[in-house]
Amino acid sequence: MREEILTSATEMFLTYGFKSVTMDDIAEKMSISKKTIYTHFSNKTKLVQETTFGMFECISSGIECICDLSYNPIEELFQIKKFILENLKDEKSSPLFQLQKYYPKIHAELRNKQFAVMQECVTDNLNRGVKDAYFRSDIDISFISRVYFQGMMGIKDIDTFPTELFSMNYLLEKYLEYHVRGIATEKGILTLEKVQNQYN
């Protein structure tokens, strides 16, 4: 039952947001009593924490699998984008924004976990891109990997990028293009345009 609660709660949080969904909503959706949920999770914060870190582990594992498939560095970025969108429902409810606002401690811990994983993944992507001449050899990999992380976090700020104006798919697409064009060789630009045609 515990796993079923986590699965239902995760789906509802992604669809409607962490603040919007109550324990009553989850109980009603699952046709169980709220007491049953509290048997497994002492309060909503605990449930939010477990669903958040569960989603993080799922996404991280999926990204790791993609990185093992030997895509070229540019296609790898777009494969990861596709995977994230499929698993986060295009983030129409801006769950990350609600997490930051209403559960700041969980958000801060999640951000630290995301940074650690992304640093390793992006650094490897950049190194392979330089080695295979998709990215320029003069780029500062440590700097760019951090800028990439900050940019990825920044495009999820709904005050700057309101969801009624920008879909997450659009933001990720444009950010990846911005990122790649800033560091790519001629070979990299040609590969980017080819990959964009495939994914559009």
HEC profile for 113-161? HHHHHHHHHHHHHHHHHHHCCCECCCCCHHHHHHHHHHHHHHCCCCCCC
pLDDT value at residue 152: 94
* CA–CA dist 57, 29 (Å, integer): 25
**pTM assigned to the model:** 0.88
Percentage of the residues of the chain whose pLDDT score is greater than 90: 81
Rounded mean pLDDT of 14-41?
A: 94
Closest CA to 90 of 179, 170, 200: 170
Checking if the pLDDT of 130 tops 90, the result is yes
Q: What CATH code is assigned to 45-199?
A: 1.10.357.10
Tokens linked to 134: 């998709």
Question: What integer best gives the mean pLDDT of the chain?
Answer: 93
Tokens linked to 35: 């007491």
Confidence of residue 156 (pLDDT cuts 50, 70, 90): confident
pLDDT value at residue 86: 86
Checking if the pLDDT of 90 tops 70, the result is no
Checking if the pLDDT of 158 tops 80, the result is yes
pLDDT value at residue 85: 87
pLDDT value at residue 123: 97
pLDDT tens-digit series, residues 32-76: 999 999 999 999 999 999 999 999 999 999 999 999 998 999 999
In this structure, are residues 74 and 129 in contact, taking their beta carbons and an 8 Å threshold? yes
pLDDT value at residue 92: 55
- Hey, where are the domains in the chain? 45-199
pLDDT value at residue 97: 81
* CA–CA dist 162, 46 (Å, integer): 29
pLDDT value at residue 91: 53
pLDDT value at residue 200: 67
Tell me if residue 184 falls in helix, strand or coil.
strand
